[in-house]
A and B are shown apart, each in its own frame.
Chain A
């Protein structure tokens, strides 16, 4: 179980400090699948990065299975079983897919690991490819997801896993998340706007303006999300179109 208490995050930007997250309180249970959703720039990825230890919170606490991990760095949190799949994963010149997945798997042998197949990539074709610009955005993204699938995690966070992935691989990916959820105790967090991802959720957390606006079961949250003004989203009066957001 992961508990987030009174968490806030302020980052230094070009125009001075910006408050990114404000007084977040959230409990993520074992064996539950959460979807974080909400408008762009609302703080979803920042919250994930604070959980992973990439950003240090300005205030508040993060507690994993009763242990305060707020002061721990990325490496320590990873070793405790927290994983984060990047929205835009980096490329590595000279590092092979096999090597990256082996690092993720630790001491476990990766032969027979289904993590590539689970994201729709044939291991024979991909294990010896370099994780560099020879991979397309969608391939890279699926390999990124595979690096989390190769691990045994307590909390696994996937940041917009569907981004850049084709229709067919997407169906496979969705099944993979469903299967993971059925088989393991892992707390799964998917950051997404996709209806077909949202429909996997046990609980949906709506994050906007750096706070949790609403949280509840999928069925309770569905009408909230379908409301175009959810998350404090203002519809642009000038455009005369409810799909255009107003920032004034």
Chain B
């Protein structure tokens, strides 16, 4: 059912070597090709539009859900709507991710719209990796939208990674946090060639003592272009830290526009943004330890994007 190319894409975007343990749904070229629910995690297809509902029973502990998407045909436009309902007090891992292998000349596109409801005191770790490859000149486009509602005391870590080979991306992430909810978003982005990437994040801290941390790190190589627009708005006693760091190389362009908005006197919001080349001192330090210049550069970039 899964050929060698499928397996390689799955390994890259979801660290999967074969059919995963636990609940999963594998989507290939616009269709669900394999699915399994478990006693605590139910996955069912939506009736009104493409996509699935993932329902995690309250109190489910230490289970995982894998929902990778692979596209291996040219000229495909795939849109999918997934809804996650993470029950009260549950603690789970969700591994998403999309790999495109575009063999032809026409554009292949995947738009994934993910809606999360994280119930009271539930904990979620979400990992999403995006990757593109293919011999032809066909564009590989990935436009993920992630909408997160976090109830009282909920905790979420969202790891959003774009590895290589994605020509166009428009990433939208929105979250609303209620009382005592905590959100950590880590974004890693590497663009090269003529690629364009845009990431907009909006976090609303609605509840008392809610907090958010956004850590965005990117590397822009060749003629690629990146735009970051991370925003946090505080409406209560809350805390947030937004950090955007980009390494710029070659003829790339990076625009970074963090915004913080306080609508309450006890909102403590901080942002920092930096764009720069790899520091010469860093390269030299690693070269004094015996690395060549290109090995030193690779080591710095890998660490930065880790």
State the A residues within 8 Å of B (CB). 52, 54, 73-75, 78-79, 83-84, 86, 89-90, 92-96, 99-100, 103-104, 106, 147, 151
Contacts and interface: CB of A to CB of B under 8 A. Distances in A.
Contacts of A90: 279, 281-282, 285
A74 B279 CA distance: 16
A54 B300 contact: no
B134 to A, nearest CB: 29
A93 B302 CA distance: 10
B299 interface: yes
Given A93-B304, A95-B299, 13 more contacts: A54-B288, A73-B287, A75-B291, A84-B288, A86-B281, A86-B285, A89-B285, A92-B303, A93-B217, A93-B245, A99-B299, A99-B303, A100-B289
A83 B288 contact: yes
A89 B292 CA distance: 19
- Among B217, B245, B285, B303, the most chain A Cβ lie within 10 Å of the Cβ of B285
A50 to B, nearest CB: 13
Q: How large is the interface on B (under 10, 10 to 19, 20 to 34, 35 or more residues)?
A: 20 to 34
Nearest to A52: B288
B292 A75 contact: yes
Contacts of B270: none
B306 interface: yes
B304 A78 contact: no
Interface of B: 217, 245, 279, 281-282, 284-293, 299-300, 302-306
A79 B290 contact: yes
Contacts of A95: 299-300, 303
Interface majority SS (helix, strand, loop, mixed), chain A: mixed
Contacts of A94: 217, 302-306
Query: What 7 pairs between A and B have smallest CB-CB spacing?
Result: A94-B303, A95-B303, A90-B281, A74-B287, A78-B290, A90-B282, A94-B304
A79 B290 CA distance: 5
A86 B289 CA distance: 12
B284 A54 contact: yes
A150 to B, nearest CB: 9
Given A90-B281, A90-B282, A74 B300 contact: no
B290 A75 contact: yes
A186 to B, nearest CB: 15
Contacts of A99: 299, 303
